[in-house]
Amino acid sequence: MNDTVKGNPNDQTKAGSERPVTAVIVGAGHRSLIYASYARRHPGSFRITGVVDPDPERRQRTAEAFRLPPEACFESVGQLTAGPRIADAAINGTMDRLHVETTLPLLAAGYDVLLEKPIATTEEQLRELYVKAQECGRIVMICHVLRYAPFYREIRKRIAAGDIGEIVNIQTAEHVSYHHMAASYIRGKWNSQEKCQSSMLMAKCCHDLDILTWMTGGLRPLRVGSFGSLMQFKAERAPEGSGERCLADCRIEADCAYSARKHYIEQKRWGFYVWENQHLGVKLTEEEKLESLRTTNPYGRCVWRCDNDVVDHQSVMVEFENGSTATHNMIGATSRPCRTIHIIGTRGEIQGVLEDGSFVVRHPDPRAGHQYSEEKVTVDVTDDSHGGGDLLLVEDFVRVLRGERASISSTRLEQSIYGHEIGFAAERSRTGHATVELAY
């Protein structure tokens, strides 16, 4: 990193100074706005100075939220980079297929980047981005926010301290709730690999695959095998009496667990996806919402009659360079959403559930009348699905841009590649029905 914090060319200051780190939002979606909210909580450390988004309403509402002048609002990254640099960094929250396409010019223009996951949709793009970041000498940090959740961070510290010895096996699972599955991966923006260009495993679980590699301390994965399919949510599995749309022609809507009325009107779930620009303050009446679901809103469709093609369950097996192994299971449409982890080492084990906010550390105990000893470790947990990691990630990003030492959770690009390599290999294995060996 250079000795200067990069920003307004007329206002260069030494890293670590009191000037806030500045950032431009690229893609004013739900995730970007969560990261940008750090600026409201810590205005002395972080400030939003621009927005890039092709949607004029999103640009305008983001500008109002962060008090941005018209000259700091842009339709495209090309428009932004054609002029002088207006910030130290960019928060890139565009859709998966646009991540690399929009990040490359940002790096060339001198912006460091906080990039939403997945990093890329192909291995070729991933390597291209890595090479470009090295050439430009820019910092790219990936939004693998689970590393920053106190639950996972404390587990990583215990492993680094040698509490359970050398890792032999890691087992993780993500149970994606039925309503999340419906909103994001059946009716929503990530329901089709053809459109999104990301598999469901990469779109939803690259967090978890990253956790596997992070817990090992960065061991190289050598072999990957995977199985999975779209088993449940297809037309031939549609219940008798179902229609094309929940509120238009379905005779069983009142009893259906996937009713759009129940999820998005009565339970008020996933509104930031279902109702255009709700995350920026747009409000609709209940009748407007009902009419939307009855007619054109894609979230009003029957979950068995959508254009989804991504898997609804998948299992991944990994062998690392030292012979240790790992598995990850993604199961869609579960009753309870949760992430689980069980790590077995040569001297003990760690097991827990993220949403419970605690884990246990076990050690063999051969004393008479005993089998093992167990310590319960409770950590802070919040009501967000990432266990409180979102803003801790931004805090670390700000710290790194100031030239300070990154935390144990650091998600710099060069530290975040192996999990993606596993994800890409898993898809090749699943579709090719064969174990994949990774070449380095």
- What token pair was written down for 387? 């266990």
> Is 403 within a domain?
no
- What token pair was written down for 19? 């000037």
What is the pLDDT confidence band of residue 282, given thresholds at 50, 70 and 90?
A: confident
Write down the pLDDT at residue 147.
96
> Is 125 within a domain?
yes
| Average confidence (pLDDT) over 122-128 | 96
Per-residue model confidence as pLDDT tens digits over 32-78: 999 999 999 999 999 999 999 999 999 999 999 999 999 999 999 99
User: 285 in helix, strand or coil?
Assistant: coil
Kindly report the CATH number assigned to the domain that includes residue 155: 3.30.360.10
Strand residue runs (E) in 153-278? 167-177, 221-229
> Is 404 within a domain?
no
> Is 14 within a domain?
yes
Residues 221 and 338 placed together within one structural domain of the fold: yes
| Average confidence (pLDDT) over 205-221 | 96
Q: Which of 246, 215, 244 is nearest to 305 (CA)?
A: 244
d(CA 266, CA 264): 6
**Phi (first) and psi of residue 259, to 5 degrees:** -55, 125
> Is 120 within a domain?
yes
d(CA 150, CA 144): 13
Q: Which of 281, 300, 319 is the last residue of a domain?
A: 300
- Average model confidence (pLDDT) across the chain: 93
Q: Which of 300, 318, 350 is the last residue of a domain?
A: 300
Write down the pLDDT at residue 14.
35
Residues 10 and 107 placed together within one structural domain of the fold: yes
Residues 331 and 424 placed together within one structural domain of the fold: yes
Write down the pLDDT at residue 382.
62
Residues 274 and 223 placed together within one structural domain of the fold: no
Q: What's the half-sphere exposure (Cβ side, CA atoms, 13 Å) at 30?
A: 13
Write down the pLDDT at residue 124.
96
> Which residues form the domain of 374?
147-233+308-385+411-437
Residues 329 and 285 placed together within one structural domain of the fold: no
> Is 221 within a domain?
yes
Residues 219 and 283 placed together within one structural domain of the fold: no
Residues 376 and 229 placed together within one structural domain of the fold: yes
**pLDDT reading at 90 higher than 60:** yes
Write down the pLDDT at residue 274.
96
d(CA 126, CA 433): 24
Domain count, the chain: 3
| Average confidence (pLDDT) over 169-184 | 98
| Average confidence (pLDDT) over 137-159 | 97
Q: Which of 122, 143, 164 is the last residue of a domain?
A: 143
Handedness of CA 331, 116, 93, 121 (dihedral sign): negative
Strand residue runs (E) in 93-180? 112-115, 140-142, 167-177
d(CA 370, CA 184): 47
Q: Which of 118, 259, 248 is nearest to 182 (CA)?
A: 259
DSSP 54: S
Per-residue model confidence as pLDDT tens digits over 13-35: 334 457 999 999 999 999 999 99
Kindly report the CATH number assigned to the domain that includes residue 21: 3.40.50.720
Beta bridge partners of 175: 331, 338
**pLDDT reading at 1 higher than 60:** no
Strands 349-353 and 167-177: unpaired
d(CA 251, CA 21): 55
Write down the pLDDT at residue 277.
80
Residues 289 and 315 placed together within one structural domain of the fold: no
Neighbours of 71 (CB within 10 A): 9
Q: The tokens 């428009």 sit on which residue?
A: 79
**76 Cβ neighbours under 8 A, 6+ residues apart:** 52, 54
Verify cis geometry, omega within 30 degrees of 0, for the bond prior to 150. Answer: no
Residues 112 and 229 placed together within one structural domain of the fold: no
Per-residue model confidence as pLDDT tens digits over 300-357: 999 999 999 999 999 999 999 999 999 999 999 999 999 999 999 999 999 999 999 9
The answer to whether residues 289 and 275 touch, using CB atoms and an 8 Å cutoff, is yes
Amino acid at 123: E
d(CA 356, CA 145): 18
Write down the pLDDT at residue 5.
30
Handedness of CA 195, 198, 199, 201 (dihedral sign): negative
The answer to whether residues 332 and 173 touch, using CB atoms and an 8 Å cutoff, is no
> Is 336 within a domain?
yes
Per-residue model confidence as pLDDT tens digits over 287-302: 999 999 999 999 999 9
Write down the pLDDT at residue 439.
84
Residues 27 and 167 placed together within one structural domain of the fold: no
Residues 225 and 357 placed together within one structural domain of the fold: yes
Amino acid at 421: E
Residues 89 and 213 placed together within one structural domain of the fold: no
> Is 405 within a domain?
no
